[in-house]
Chain A
């Protein structure tokens, strides 16, 4: 044991956490505390022109409950819509409420096929991912899901 006893290393907090058993992925230290559910809400309000956006289970969000790697979290979104000229999804917005800058990505859609998109997003810490679908009539539907970004380790 003694051969490594002196191996005391100074580490920043992030490194120390990694050493701690801790599969620790980007558990945001970027002082995001004052960021962003508010910023996300603000951006959403802009989309709906201030009208209250309805939470809808027409939006299905596929996200892991616990991220395997916060730096690249797969997200899939489908919106139940006929996607015809008369009724279709114009835009899908993804907001990461806990990220320093919550507006993550916007998809622009045309009235064809299905409203089904996939991408990967970066999540700085445990947070809600908010999805807003802007319909061709200007109405806005939303849904959200919590994703945990965890230190990991210790699973039995």
Chain B
């Protein structure tokens, strides 16, 4: 990991220059970090894998606070990515206050955001990709691990087509899907026909004939090495997202099918086998111990940004974060069908120090320009940090939950534990663009219904088990459902049915009664025919009325067993 040390030296110098708590000009504008620093890398071997994942249709630089709570249970307790804040910094030798600390952790986020600025932006990432290709064109593969077509106003308005155009322009070599499926089966097939590269999902079969729906493997030759990339879609798409949109397709982890694809690729002469996966990190960690012959797993879905490689047996696991914040570069020396040596760097896309690539910027601008009037509308301002990512309610979720309670006049509200959704720092305007970055889905209706206390508990228990089941194969990779108007206690070490207790209705301070009915509002129901206003309209109206938003971190959820 020479390159990371190099980078750290640069950023350590930055920290020394800045001192602590001193509000001076941005590190970026001081050139404390530069594009060249970000790109600095000791090339190794014949193959360069460039990887990003879970970009969630984010074309522009943004703020994204990594989680402060990301708990692991069972065998993964205390292992990356289940380390946050100072523990994380310690594990990866990152110094507080540095550019890396800002990019990879939640520590002192609002302050550091002011110093290091926005991260990401497709044109900025393109600059790095093109610079690396310029040196290693015949060696380089660019792999997108999915959740690419969903998450913005423009992706929703064009039903994913904006991202297809952008990824074609970027020259992606292969992708895998998850949220892509929320445009429905027919639209997915339409968009695949517009892609210049393979769309792989070896674990999707049709319900009737049990046959593969998509290709499972793509073959490349890079630097004289035969490379097979096997693709894995999110295994629980029809459970976590509406099944009615893809009624004929069945998913699942399907280890044995992955093994069969690996064996077939090896038999056909592949010297390097890469799994591009949307399984989620813990699932892939387990899969790596059960499937033989995978050299590299490029992980996705759980949005973990891990600065180093995690090795499981002979398999290298890569986790490149989300929202276009990072570009991963893994160089591999392949000898006799085995990885002999490698070097890895996860590059934060510090947009203020990277000159955006003109070609891709033009593509981005062309996508956004027709919608500028809508997405540019300023709805209000936030005085507090708004974020979603983390196992439990983030401040943006609380804003959404409050909006549902007020606008739909309910006692309790539920909001999905999606891991996508950018952050806004104190003092920032809230635009329509920002609303869609939190809510742009194809099943947005906000229902209003009555539920008994027992039902509400059942929902919480069910979602908690999707997050804290000790066997990752039984997890779905989302965070805990967000709850408004109600507090609760959760013991993450218990089993399903006994994790949740002390459910309290906040408006009265009374304990939730299992047999009593409560009014509940929520969005992102996976059931067909859900009625109610779209969440983005409801939230926008709410912020227009409030004008100034101030949401402090939620103190109504007691977490034990962590």
Q: Which residues of A contact B (CB under 8 A)?
A: 1, 4-5, 7-11, 13, 16-24, 27, 62, 64-69, 74, 126, 146, 148, 150-156
Contact = CB atoms under 8 A, between A and B. Distances in A.
Contacts of B303: 156
Given A9-B449, A64-B252, A66-B476, A153 B533 contact: no
Interface string B234-254: 101111111100000011110
Interface in B441-489: 447-452, 454-455, 458-459, 462-463, 465-466, 469, 471, 473-474, 476-479, 481
A151 B459 contact: yes
Contact of B239 (A1, A16, A150): A150
Q: Is the interface of A mostly helix, strand, loop or mixed?
A: loop
A153 B407 contact: no
B524 interface: yes
Contacts of B447: 19-20
20 contacts: A4-B532, A5-B408, A5-B409, A5-B448, A16-B451, A19-B530, A21-B416, A21-B481, A23-B238, A24-B527, A66-B474, A148-B465, A151-B463, A152-B476, A153-B524, A154-B416, A154-B524, A155-B418, A155-B478, A156-B303
Contacts of B250: 68, 74
B253 A16 contact: no
B458 A17 contact: yes
A149 to B, nearest CB: 10
B148 to A, nearest CB: 15
Contact of B253 (A7, A24, A65, A150): A65
Given A1-B541, A11-B449, A156-B477, A18 B527 contact: yes
A65 B418 contact: no
Please tell me the size bucket of the interface on B: 35 or more
B80 interface: no
Contact of A20 (B256, B522, B531): B522
A49 B256 CA distance: 35
B468 to A, nearest CB: 13
B419 interface: yes
B448 A66 contact: no
A154 B449 contact: no
Interface in B331-377: none
B459 A22 contact: yes
Given A21-B526, A152-B240, A154-B418, A11 B474 contact: no
B149 interface: no
B238 A154 contact: no
B417 A126 contact: no
A148 B475 CA distance: 10
A69 B532 CA distance: 25
Given A1-B408, A8-B449, A153 B526 contact: yes
A23 B448 contact: no
A117 to B, nearest CB: 14
Contacts of B407: 1
Contacts of B538: 1
A27 B465 CA distance: 14
Contact of B524 (A21, A74, A148, A150): A21
Given A7-B448, A146-B474, 17 more contacts: A5-B408, A5-B448, A10-B450, A16-B449, A20-B520, A20-B522, A22-B462, A68-B252, A148-B465, A148-B469, A150-B239, A151-B459, A153-B416, A153-B463, A153-B526, A154-B416, A155-B239
Contacts of A74: 210, 250
A152 B462 CA distance: 8
Given A10-B450, A16-B449, A150-B462, A22 B526 contact: yes
B243 A68 contact: yes
Nearest to A67: B239
Nearest to A21: B525
B477 A68 contact: no
